Structure formats: C-alpha cells, structure tokens
Amino acid sequence: MERLGKLYSADEIIREFKDGQTIMIGGFGAHGTPEHLVDLILESGVRHLTTISMDSSLPGLGIGKLVHNKVIDKMITAHAGRNREAMELYDAGKMEIEFCPMGTLAERIRCGGAGIPAFYVGTGMGTGVEKGKDIKEFNGKKYMLETAITADLSLVRCRCADPLGNLSYHGTSENANPVMAMNESKTLVDPDLIMEIDEIGIDRIKTPGVFVDMILS
C-alpha cells in the first residue's frame, strides 16, 4: 500500500532509535511532551543517551520515564529540581547534567536549526554558567559565548498534524516544540490529531512540513 505522506507506524519509528544517540525531547512540566515517542524509546531498548530538554519532567512522565529506567548518560536541561530521581542520579555521579538557562537553551536549539554556530548572551554572567566560556565586552557589558546545539533526533508533540508534516500547537503545550522541530536533526512527531491536507488552516500552521520527517500514525 502506498504511504500517505509522512505517516509512519510505531514499528517503523522504533527503528530510528540507536544506542548513544543525542535526542531532543519537547515539553515542559509534563505539558506538550511526546509521551508515545518516549515510550517507543524505552520499547527499543536503547541506552547511553544524551537528552536535550527544557526540564527533566516528573517521575513516571515524559523524559522522567527515561530517567527512571537509567537510559540517559547525560542530560542537557534548564531545570531538573522537580524530578527527585534525576537529582539522586546526578548527586550519585550516575548521570551527568549540563544546566543552561532556559532562554539560552531555547536559543541554542534555534540556532542549531538556523545554521548559526554561536552567539553572545549576558544571562548567567557572574554565575557558574560562565565557567569555561569565552567572554567579551560589548558597550561596557560582559557577555559569554554560547554555541548552537543539535541532535540526532528531535521528538516533538503537536496538537494537529497533516500527512505533509504541517503542525499546529495548542496553548502552553507548544513550549519548545517548534524550535526543536526546526533543528537539523531528523524530526519525529507525536500528534494529538491527524488532519486531512489543508484542514489545519494555513494561518494555524506553526511548523511547516519541510521540517518534519516522520509522524506517528
């Protein structure tokens, strides 16, 4: 049977996951997290992952399921304090966490998709975040150099998707999903609803289909 656009089965998507990958995962505070795709990571049995996310979610939800099953070697995130299991692994030296201010992390992800290698930012100056960073002064103020960030896979959740990969989002569940979708990695989508072509409405499309590779059907 001919494939309908970018719609793929769970069995097809699960083959995209490999040991040692770097994976971006959308969502914040358990909202807008691609839960079904996270479940497929666990089902695949892969390990030694590096994840990029806005937070570590909560035990039993989203990326928290990956933390609980100890498949993450390193997490790059803005916030991990709400997940007790993540902090216990970090304190025990069993999982590395690279902390990055949330706005800076979102911009690093956006730059990764836009082909911008690095940028200077003032957020975090005077804190441990500036350690090891190149620092320059502009107009009498100091700024640190932050580099763009990319991944092997980006997992995003949307409210609506069509077979061409056009996506729309709803409310705060949008969070970092659109910037992760535009990253140069392969983008996998967990949609709430699959719509017909042209049904979403061009004014509601936030992520054009050109950024999307596979949609879980």
pLDDT in tens, 78-101: 999 889 999 999 999 999 999 999
| Mean pLDDT within 203-210 | 96
pLDDT, tens digit, for every residue of 27-43?
998 899 999 999 999 99
Residue 124 resides in a domain:
no
Exposure letters 174-207 (e unless 16+ CB within 10 A, then b): bbbbbbbbbbebebbbbbeebbeeeebeeeebbb
Q: Classify 34 as helix, strand or coil.
A: coil
What is the number of structural domains in the chain?
1
Residue 20 resides in a domain:
yes
Percent of the chain with pLDDT over 70: 99
pLDDT, tens digit, for every residue of 121-149?
999 999 988 999 999 999 999 999 999 99
Range of the domain at 154: 7-114+149-216
Exposure letters 20-37 (e unless 16+ CB within 10 A, then b): ebbbbbbbbbbbbbbbeb
**Closest listed residue to residue 72, CA positions, set 56, 91, 54:** 56
Residue 73 resides in a domain:
yes
Residue 102 resides in a domain:
yes
pLDDT at 30: 83
Rounded CA-CA distance 151/22 in Å is 5
Residue 138 resides in a domain:
no
pLDDT at 100: 94
pLDDT, tens digit, for every residue of 4-19?
789 999 999 999 999 9
Is residue 2 predicted with pLDDT exceeding 60?
A: no
Q: Classify 135 as helix, strand or coil.
A: strand
Residue 97 resides in a domain:
yes
**Tokens matching residue 45:** 């049995």
For residue 1, name the pLDDT band (cuts at 50, 70, 90). Answer: very low
**Closest listed residue to residue 53, CA positions, set 80, 18, 84, 26:** 26
Task: Report the DSSP beta bridge partners of residue 75.
Answer: 51, 97
Residue 135 resides in a domain:
no
pLDDT, tens digit, for every residue of 173-194?
999 999 999 998 899 999 999 9
pLDDT at 207: 97
Residues with Cβ within 8 Å of 185's Cβ and at least 6 positions away in sequence, in order, are 24, 150, 151, 152, 153, 154
pLDDT at 184: 82
Q: Classify 54 as helix, strand or coil.
A: strand
| Mean pLDDT within 92-114 | 96
| Mean pLDDT within 152-170 | 97
Residue 142 resides in a domain:
no
pTM over 0.85: yes
Number of Cβ within a 10 Å radius of residue 135: 11
pLDDT at 29: 85
pLDDT, tens digit, for every residue of 43-74?
999 999 999 999 999 889 999 999 999 999 99
Q: Between the CA of residue 36 and those of 6, 62, 71, 130, 192, what are the distances in Å?
A: 17, 9, 17, 36, 10
CATH of the domain at 96: 3.40.1080.10
Alpha helices in 19-70 (DSSP H): 35-44, 63-68
Residues with Cβ within 8 Å of 16's Cβ and at least 6 positions away in sequence, in order, are 153, 186, 188, 214
